[in-house]
């Protein structure tokens, strides 16, 4: 679990560094096809907004519910609907990154407050099935990695289109 917690703590810096690899005019770029994308089909700025919102409304809520409730059903969120409704494409990237950093500090504090016994608490996660609180922490880390991969995939698509 130590490697997972370290990865969670390092992710805000990694996210910012991956996003910084995009030129300002590339941050809203979308490919003609999303086939093969390892994350949700989001532009670079939409990836940032999604990670921020899922941190708070997804994983923080799921962690708290698993701590407080007996075997809760944890719902999946419709990221694409959130992107449209919240107009991710118009977001201020500095504010999004600051909000995400704050949210991740809160998430890590919450995880650090969980007792060894609580990590075994069960829940059911829509689309994932039965899990424990410890599983949920690993899924959060996996979600982070999917979005770093999504950003790299976008960079690869941009580079492929720029070849002579």
What is the full DSSP assignment across 122-148? EEEETTTEEEEHHHHHHHHHHHHHHHH
Report the pLDDT value the prediction gives residue 2, as an integer from 0 to 100.
87
Question: Is residue 164 over pLDDT 60?
Answer: no
SS3 69: coil
**pLDDT (tens digit per residue) in 39-87:** 999 999 999 999 999 999 999 999 999 999 999 999 999 999 999 999 9
Q: How many domains does the chain have?
A: 1
Q: What is the pLDDT of residue 161?
A: 82
| Long-range contacts, 65-69 (Cβ 8 Å, 24+) | 65/123, 66/121, 66/122, 66/123, 66/133, 66/136, 67/114, 67/118, 67/121, 67/133, 69/123
Residue 74 DSSP label: E
Domain range enclosing 15: 2-162
What is the C-alpha separation between 138 and 1, in angstroms, rounded? 8
- Say what the pLDDT of residue 97 is: 97
- CATH label of the domain that carries residue 137: 1.20.120.450
Fill in the DSSP letter of residue 55.
Answer: I
Residue 162, pLDDT score: 63
95-127 pLDDT tens trace: 999 999 999 999 999 999 999 999 999 999 999
The answer to whether the CB of 122 falls within 8 A of the CB of 131 is yes
Look at residue 92 and tell me whether its pLDDT is greater than 80: yes
Task: Name the average pLDDT for the chain.
Answer: 95
* pLDDT at residue 163 tops 60: no
């Amino acid at each position: 679990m130590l490697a997972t917690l370290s990865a969670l703590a390092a992710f805000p810096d990694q996210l910012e560094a991956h996003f910084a690899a995009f030129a300002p005019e590339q941050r809203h770029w979308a490919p003609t096809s999303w086939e093969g994308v390892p994350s949700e089909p989001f532009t670079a700025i939409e990836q940032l907004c999604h990670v921020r919102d899922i941190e708070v409304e997804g994983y923080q809520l799921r962690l708290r519910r698993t701590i407080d409730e007996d075997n809760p059903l944890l719902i999946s969120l419709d990221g694409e609907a959130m992107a449209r409704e919240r107009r991710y494409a118009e977001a201020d990237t500095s504010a999004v990154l600051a909000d995400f950093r704050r949210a991740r500090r809160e998430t890590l504090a919450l995880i650090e407050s969980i007792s060894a016994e609580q990590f075994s608490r069960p829940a059911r996660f829509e689309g994932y099935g039965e899990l424990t609180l410890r599983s949920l922490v690993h899924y959060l880390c996996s979600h982070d990695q999917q979005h770093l991969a999504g950003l790299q995939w976008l960079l690869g698509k941009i580079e492929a289109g720029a070849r002579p």
